[in-house]
Amino acid sequence: MTLEVRVHRRLGEFEIDVDFRAGPGITALFGRSGCGKTSIVNMIAGLLKPDRGRISVDGRALYDSNLGLDIPVHRRRVACVFQDARLFPNLTVRKNLLYGLRLAPRKARFTSFDHVVELLGIAALLDRRPGALSGGEKQRVAIGRALLTSPGILLMDEPLASLDAQRKAEIVPYIERLRRDFGLSMVYVSHAIEEVLRLADTVVMLQEGKVSAVGPLEETLGRIELYPVMGRKEAGSALATIVIAHDDTDALTTLRFDGGTLQIPRVNLPTGTHLRIHVRARDVALAVQRPDGISIRNILPGRVTEMADSAGAYVEVKVAIGGSSLVSRITRQAARELTVAIGHDVYLLIKSIAIDTNSLGILPPADYLPRITATARETIPGARSGEGEELLDVPLH
Amino acid sequence: MGHDELQALRLSLQVAICSVLAGMPLALVVASVLARCRFPGKALVDALIHLPLVVPPVVTGYLLLLLLGRHGIVGAWLYEQFDIVFAFRWTGAVIAAMVMSFPLMVRPIRLSMENVDRRLEDAARTLGASPARVFLSVTLPLAIPGIVVAALLGFARSLGEFGATITFVGNIPGETRTLSSAIYTFMQTPEGDRSALHLAIVSLGISLLALVASEYCARRAQAVVHGI
């Protein structure tokens, strides 16, 4: 699946001018509130008309100002999950789910009512009305309703934004399942980096109506010049890892990545699970010698490849460790006193408890989107990935 | 109750029900156009629809006679081409009631349609629903409370119609003598006081019943629309 979006649209003083392509999997439109994410999604859906440009899915144009083409919303086969669910309040959950199913051409259907109901765990809700559902339940039904139209592409506009942390944690595994079970392409709009980290394969970073970066998640998040866009607090690296061991006595889990191993608090996942972790730059300390007698469990040797000086007190230092890289944020003063420079060998120190278990992204089997090197996989005898139900059983707090 | 009283009652109910049934589709179309579309001259259309509310009913009846009377502009043509006559027929009473109650029917439907969440309509479109289907499957069901109110107001206004009716279709027993005309007639006749009182009480009862029933229906509809 390829989604091509090249649109221009003026909204009062604000101007959206974007041009990007997205491949299969989940593409995150990421940016702060008011950067035009929702408008772009509305233009893909056909709810907002661009001034000019072209939008196509797999080469099929949905909109093309040069050709005077503007396929009406209901014939685009682009389903939406909105932040506010938008279930029909007068219909039961069952009828909400069936609404789009009946309208989908028979040939195009790739899933069945029963399958979706089971997948989203909404069998018990079928005869209720939306007014009697919790926020998380509504959103699951909304996902089901969109899915049953068998769309060519699924747009999700901040589907978790109005939910509390617990409800979010309840929904995320279902979104991961959609990617795994249907190989469905999704555009996921979010201003929350932890959601993007957990779910996205490709990131389109937006700033004031313009694209500031597009690319695979790990690569894009590794671009330290973009950190101001991401927000200083949450900015950090995404690391593709694989679960290799659990230590029950100390309640720790060991992850391997291309370049070393990391210890994090115990997660309830089978060994062999492909996991993406978020390492915030502010949680990574830097040393020029291997420190002794220190509580920090993860000490990783690497080499400085990039440094970005920002206006504040900080410097972002990108360090290559094997085939991966991590970013550390240190004060400018520290960088000067330690004489950190590109090409120097340094040690990165990461507290185990600093790894945000909320943003652990369970990746599909490696053959779906190869991102872990062969060496990493070979070190784990008999490791298999993408095991069924247990995968969803991640403790999120 | 005597034969004349029952006849007037039956005729009135018949005229009021027919007026609501015949007026409803038109009211739905006009209300949705007013609620959803923007076009030049919208204010004029709006004013024309509301005209019967402010014009004296007798004038409306007179205009109807000029328009639809057997020698009227449209009436003559209808008579010659299709042998259809409205003047001094009960069908004419339906038309008079319909015209008089039309603004009262359009208004609540329009208001409730304007209150239907456009975002739900957008959601339906992304699920593959054509504009016509969106209207029938989302807008209309969610506007039901307004439609119920419209039906009641239309029914009540039709039941009480007097001025336009008597001007347009007269006061013919068994044909156009509705409740109001009948009460008026009984009051003019020496021994008619009892009958007039009977009919007055009956119309009071019907109005009360309609009010209670519509209140109940509107409540039910509200509950359904709000998904409770």
Q: SS in 3 state form for chain A?
A: CCEEEEEEEEECCEEEEEEEEECCCEEEEECCCCCCHHHHHHHHHCCCCCCEEEEEECCEEEEECCCCEECCHHHCCEEEECCCCCCCCCCCHHHHHHHHHCCCCHHHCCCCHHHHHHHHCCHHHCCCCHHHCCHHHHHHHHHHHHHCCCCCEEEEECCCCCCCHHHHHHHHHHHHHHHHHHCCCEEEEECCHHHHHHHCCEEEEEECCEEEEEEEHHHHHCCHHHHHHHCCCCCEEEEEEEEEEEECCCCEEEEEECCEEEEEECCCCCCCCEEEEEEEHHHEEEECCCCCCCCCCEEEEEEEEEEEECCCCEEEEEEEECCEEEEEEEEHHHHHHCCCCCCCEEEEEECHHHCCHHHCEECCCCCCCCCCCHHHHHCCCCCCCCCCHHHHCCCCC
Tokens 């009960």 belong to B90
Q: Let me know the angle formed at the C-alpha of B199 by B188 and B50, rounded to the nearest 5 degrees.
A: 90
Q: Determine how many CB atoms are found less than 10 A away from the CB of residue A102.
A: 11
B152 backbone dihedrals φ, ψ, rounded to 5°? -65, -50
pLDDT beyond 70 at A381: no
A81-90, B14-23, B193-202, B215-224: the lowest-pLDDT one? B215-224
DSSP state letter for B137:
I
Query: How many other C-beta atoms can be found within 10 angstroms of the C-beta atom of residue B63?
Result: 18
Residues 81-140 of A with CB under 8 A from B: 82, 84, 86-90, 99-100, 103-104, 129-132
In order of A184, A343, B8, B225, the CA distances from B206 in angstroms are 60, 93, 14, 28
A364 — pLDDT class (breaks 50, 70, 90): low
Map tokens 């959950």 to a residue: A93
Flag if B127 and A146 touch (Cβ within 8 Å).
Answer: yes
Q: Tell whether B172 is within 8 A of chain A (Cβ).
A: no
- C-alpha to C-alpha distance for B228 and A129, rounded to whole angstroms: 7
Measure in Å the smallest separation between the Cα of B22 and chain A Cα atoms. 27
- B148 near A CB under 8 A: no
A203-228: average pLDDT: 84
Cβ distance of A74 and B225 shorter than 8 Å: no
How many Å lie between the alpha carbon of A223 and the closest alpha carbon of chain B?
Answer: 35
Residue of A31, A47, A315, A256 whose CA lies nearest to A158 = A31
Q: How far is CA A325 from the centre of its chain?
A: 19
Distance from CA of B220 to the nearest CA of A (A): 11
Q: Does B142 touch chain A if contact means CB atoms closer than 8 Å?
A: yes
Q: What is the pLDDT of residue B71?
A: 78
- A-chain CB neighbours of B224 within 8 Å are 90
Contact A131 B226 (CB under 8 A): yes
Instruction: Note the pLDDT of residue A388.
Output: 35
**Chain-centre distance for alpha carbon B159:** 9
Dihedrals phi, psi of A272, to nearest 5 degrees:
100, -10
As a whole number of angstroms, the distance between CA A361 and CA A353 comes to 17
CA–CA distances in Å: residue B136 to residues B129, B142, B143, B151 = 10, 10, 10, 18
* Contact list, A77 vs chain B (CB under 8 Å): 128
Residue A339, C-beta contacts closer than 8 angstroms, at least 6 positions apart = A288
Amino acid at A56: S
CA max distance for chain A: 69
What is each CA distance from B69 to A172, A325, B79, B81, B95, in whole angstroms?
70, 90, 9, 14, 12
Nearest to A74 among B129, B141, B224 (CB): B129
The answer to whether residue B125 neighbours chain A at the CB level (below 8 Å) is yes
Q: Are A358 and A195 in contact (CB under 8 A)?
A: no
The answer to whether residues A1 and A24 touch, using CB atoms and an 8 Å cutoff, is yes
Q: Decide if A82 and B119 are in contact by the 8 Å CB cutoff.
A: yes
Query: What are the tens digits of pLDDT across the range B125-178?
Result: 999 999 999 999 999 999 988 998 899 889 988 988 888 888 888 888 888 888
Residue A64 Rama label (left phi>0; alpha psi -120 to 50; beta) = beta
User: What does the pLDDT look like over B62-75, one tens digit per residue?
Assistant: 998 888 887 778 87
Question: Is A90–B125 a contact, with Cβ atoms under 8 angstroms apart?
Answer: no
Q: How confident is the model at residue A379, as a pLDDT?
A: 33
Cα angle value A255/A257/A261 (rounded, 5°): 50
Nearest to A62 by CA among A37, A189, A74: A74
CA-derived radius of gyration, chain A: 22
Half-sphere exposure of B13 (CA within 13 A, CB side): 12
Q: Is A48 within 8 Å of chain B by CB?
A: no
Whole-angstrom distance, CA of residue B164 vs CA of residue B60: 6
Inter-chain CB proximity A74 and B125 less than 8 Å: yes
* 3-state DSSP assignment of residue B87: coil
Q: Does B124 touch chain A (CB under 8 A)?
A: yes
Which chain B residue shows the shortest CA-CA distance from A80? B126
Which residues have a Cβ under 8 Å from the Cβ of B61 and sit 6 or more positions away?
Answer: B96, B163, B164, B165, B166, B167, B168
Pairing of strands A236-247, A252-257: antiparallel
CB pairs under 8 A between A and B: 76
The residue of chain B with its CA nearest to that of A95 is: B137
Instruction: For B94-136, write each residue's pLDDT tens digit.
Output: 999 999 999 999 999 999 999 888 999 999 999 999 999 999 9
Q: How far apart are CA B149 and CA B180, in angstroms?
A: 23
Instruction: Verify whether the Cβ–Cβ distance B227 to A130 is below 8 Å.
Output: yes
Model pLDDT, residue B1: 67
Kindly determine whether residue B138 and residue A46, on different chains, have CB atoms separated by under 8 Å.
no
Q: Any chain A CB within 8 A of the CB of B122?
A: yes
Partners of A169 in the β-ladder: none
Handedness of CA A196, A200, A201, A207 (dihedral sign): negative
CA distance B221 to chain A (A): 9
Instruction: Please list every residue in chain B whose beta carbon sits closer than 8 Å to the beta carbon of residue A145.
Output: 127
Distance to chain B for A170, nearest Cα, Å = 23
Which tokens hold the place of A154?
């699924």
Out of A100, A130, A155, the one facing B127 most closely (by C-beta) is A100
Contact A74 B128 (CB under 8 A): yes
Complex confidence, ipTM: 0.76
Taking the CA atoms of residue A51, residue A52, residue A55 and residue A59 in that order, the dihedral angle to the nearest 10 degrees is 160
- Tell me which residue in A46, A75, A88 faces B120 most closely, judged by beta carbons: A88
Does B3 lie at the interface with A, CB-CB under 8 angstroms?
Answer: no
Taking the CB of residue A12, how many other CB atoms lie within 10 A of it? 5
pLDDT of residue A369: 37
pLDDT of residue A372: 34
**Alpha-carbon distance A164 to nearest alpha carbon in chain B (angstroms):** 23
Distance from CA of B227 to the nearest CA of A (A): 4
Each residue of A225-272: pLDDT tens digit? 777 777 767 788 888 889 999 988 888 899 999 889 999 888 888 888
pLDDT tens profile B7-16: 888 888 999 9
Q: Which residue of B has its CA nearest to A93?
A: B227
Cβ distance B124 to A99 less than 8 Å, yes or no, reads: yes
Tell if the CB–CB gap between B123 and A90 is shorter than 8 Å.
Answer: no
Nearest CA in chain B to A79: B126
Per-residue pLDDT tens over the stretch A282-297: 899 999 999 888 888 8
The radius of gyration of chain B from alpha carbons, rounded to an integer in Å, stands at 20
Give me chain A's average pLDDT, please: 83
Does residue A391 carry a pLDDT above 50? no
Using an 8 Å CB-CB cutoff, list chain B residues near A74.
Answer: 125-131, 133
